[in-house]
Amino acid sequence: MAANVQDVIMLVGDSLTQLGWEQGGFAQLLAESYNRKLDVINRGLSGYQTDWAIPIFEQIFAKQHEQHHVPQVKLLTIWYGANDAAPAPSPQHVPRDRYKTNLSHLIQMVKSPTSAYYSPETRIILITPPPVNSKQWNIFIPDSPRVFETTRSYAAAVKEVGEKENVPVADIWTQMFDGAGRTEEGCSIYLSDGLHLNSAGQNIVFKAIMDIVEHVYPELDPTNEAHARMQTVFVPWDQVDVQNPRPSLVKRKAQLES
């Protein structure tokens, strides 16, 4: 079976991204917001970290010579760190400096004109890992501990990379920590198990992404009438030529309406 898809939003990351398809998840909310305009492709892989993300990205993102024949990635979210921050000697652990280098590498794969994967049409958003409630998580999964302060440091690393690479950052760590009364235990209002997000946490991620779209990438804003809106790929039903429908039912690029 083969299926043509529209231009896309691609989500790459670990289980936090993979679980974005849960009911009320940020990926589901994005798919609803961009319905008929962009498809959402979720490439979150549970347990993965940035060392492993690079060879995966080389296989899921089209090279320059392929991009003319496949849908364009209009928006790319990069969300790692929850596993990179696992304490050594965990196989998931990636030292902080290498974590930053890996994030920059992923960004430059898309942004650098010398990269085989260069895609000037693609807008990028980095997302920080959320805070963890280590006591809750370490009871839930005692063989894979997390440390609150370590995760805070990796969230700060994402912001450092964003500044260096001139890429906007959805700082959900700070938003959740502030919303939790700035206590580790309070973060449980956003967490299902101390590490992964419940619906309240998912909603924060979705809103943080959409806030960046509105203010940094308004050409991708699907709703704000203060900016030109993205057109639907297929015309609204009341624009179909009833007498001769086929010409008016041709697939359109998800370009901006005039």
pLDDT digits (tens, 9 = 90+) for 18-74: 999 999 999 999 999 999 999 999 999 999 999 999 999 999 999 999 998 888 999
Q: What pLDDT does residue 1 have?
A: 40
Which of 39, 84, 188, 196 is labelled catalytic?
Answer: 196
- Among 207, 212, 105, smallest CA distance to 168 is for 212
Q: Are strands 39-44 and 8-13 parallel, antiparallel or unpaired?
A: parallel
Is residue 32 within 8 Å of 39, Cβ to Cβ?
no
Is residue 84 within 8 Å of 94, Cβ to Cβ?
yes
For 84-105, write each residue's pLDDT tens digit.
999 999 999 999 999 999 999 9
Q: What pLDDT does residue 144 have?
A: 83
Q: Give the CB-side neighbour count of residue 104, counting CA atoms within 13 A.
A: 14
For 162-188, write each residue's pLDDT tens digit.
999 999 999 999 999 999 999 999 999
Question: Cα 56 vs. chain centroid, distance in angstroms?
Answer: 15
- Cis upstream peptide for 168 (omega within 30°): no
- pLDDT of 225 strictly over 90: no
Task: Work out the pLDDT band at 255, boundaries 50, 70, 90.
Answer: low
Which of 15, 90, 144, 192 is labelled catalytic?
Answer: 15
| Catalytic status, residue 193 | yes
> For a pLDDT cut of 90, what percent of the chain falls above it?
78
Which of 105, 192, 193, 227 is labelled catalytic?
Answer: 193
Q: What pLDDT does residue 256 have?
A: 47
Cα separation of 74 and 92, whole Å?
Answer: 30
Is residue 253 within 8 Å of 226, Cβ to Cβ?
no
| Catalytic status, residue 196 | yes
Task: Work out the pLDDT band at 258, boundaries 50, 70, 90.
Answer: very low
Sheet with 123-127, side-by-side order of all strands = 39-44, 8-13, 73-79, 123-127, 169-170
| Catalytic status, residue 68 | no
- pLDDT of 3 strictly over 80: no
Name the H helices within 84-185.
96-111, 134-140, 148-165, 172-179
Query: pTM for the complete prediction?
Result: 0.93
- pLDDT of 5 strictly over 90: no
